[in-house]
Structure 1
Amino acid sequence: MENLKLNKFKIEHLFTYSIDVDANMYIQKLPTKDTRVTGVITGGTVWGDKIHGKIVPLGADWSIVHPNGIVDVDCRAMIETHDGAHINMFYTGRIDLGSEQAAEDYSNGKFPPVMGTQPKPVLDTDDPRYIWVNNISCFGIGRVDFTSDPIVIQYDVYQYYATPFDED
């Protein structure tokens, strides 16, 4: 065990996106004591060296707010690239609101002005120019801005992969 080394990896920025979400959220109290908060996507933009275009105005984020302050994100969106390809983007993630009181506020439509979030996007397409997205693993770093209408969710998306044979 003393010769155990950490695995090598690489991280590459793929794109940044900003999704507009209708500020009129659907809030449903579930029998599990959780709350589903659904926000409908109304559009957005995508920019970066690998992918750029727009967010098609369809899809939504169906988040579950737990009484302990954890939010499980479940979002479906579609990117239309500048050259006409369609890339489906599905992502989950977890947000820690910090307290039971913050969860209660969130569940009642009282959102913080801005909060951080970290999604795990999965991309897929049938367009041969972007077929490579079907084979990659991604993570995102982002924030949600509730101070505007529409609500703005912005993420930086990175590809990550192991490089076990690199000796750098």
Structure 2
Amino acid sequence: MSRGLGAVALISALALPAHAADADLSKPSLEFAFEEVVTLSPAMPAGKTPYGERLIIPITGGTFEGPGIKGTIIPGGWDWQLRRSDGCTDIKADYMIRTDDGVIINVVNKGTLCGPDKDGKPRPGRTHPVFEAPLGKYEWLGQSAFLGTLEPVMADGKVSAVRIRFYRAM
């Protein structure tokens, strides 16, 4: 290592707070960002493909709210689902949300949902959303990594919506 690089490494190590030397700085924690309730139309079967059975679920609206952010789900998005032969379903939802101050943000939320485990316990749905927000107040959405939890909302014995909670990796 050259003297210049060695000096930079030493200065960087000395600049860390004492507790940081002991902490695992690469281990993220999660912070609640917001919750959505996304309303859905019934699934439209698109048929079997070489990869599984394709379903298309229209997104019809909904609401969202969290610390510093609130608004509605814009109708017209879609949830593209692929039921796999192993009983799990790959999901990819692509839709827009509008904040209460008029900012439109694109949400692409992907994940894999599997049925109950071998003991019949439900498995939680997990997703990894990506947000495309305009520069300004909400640009933090596009500058962060998120984890989503997903659970169905039932009405008359059918899924009428999904509740999604988004957590920001810190």
Per the normalisation by structure 1, the TM-score is 0.76
In the alignment, structure 1 segments of 5+ residues that lack a partner are: 100-113, 162-168
2 CA distance for matches of 1:127 and 1:62? Answer: 28
Q: Report if aligned partners of 1:142, 1:156 keep a CA contact under 8 Å in 2.
A: yes
Does residue 145 (structure 1) correspond to residue 163 (structure 2)? The answer is: no
Does residue 19 (structure 1) correspond to residue 38 (structure 2)? The answer is: yes
Q: How many residues align?
A: 143
Q: Give the 3-state SS of the residue equivalent to 1:134 in structure 2.
A: helix
* Match in the other structure for 1:10: 29
Matches within 5 A, 1:64-103: 64-98=82-116
* Match in the other structure for 1:131: 139
Q: Report if aligned partners of 2:153, 2:159 keep a CA contact under 8 Å in 1.
A: no
Q: Report if aligned partners of 1:10, 1:160 keep a CA contact under 8 Å in 2.
A: yes
1 CA distance for matches of 2:49 and 2:94? Answer: 24
Q: Give the 3-state SS of the residue equivalent to 2:137 in structure 1.
A: helix
Query: Which of structures 1 and 2 has the larger relative contact order (alpha carbons within 8 angstroms, sep 6+)?
Result: 1
44-53 vs 28-37, which moves further: 28-37
Matches within 5 A, 1:44-59: 44-59=62-77
2 CA distance for matches of 1:18 and 1:127? Answer: 25
Look at both structures and tell me which one has the larger radius of gyration over its CA atoms: 2
In the alignment, structure 2 segments of 5+ residues that lack a partner are: 1-22
Q: Give the 3-state SS of the residue equivalent to 2:140 in structure 1.
A: helix
2 CA distance for matches of 1:151 and 1:79? Answer: 18
Coordinate RMSD, CA, aligned: 2.3
Deviation at 1:98, TM superposition (A): 4.3
Does residue 154 (structure 1) correspond to residue 150 (structure 2)? The answer is: no
Greater per-residue helix proportion: 2
Deviation at 1:10, TM superposition (A): 2.4
1 CA distance for matches of 2:168 and 2:106? Answer: 16
1 CA distance for matches of 2:51 and 2:109? Answer: 24
Stretches (4+) displaced over 4 A: none
Identity of aligned residues (%): 23
Matches within 5 A, 1:105-116: 116=124
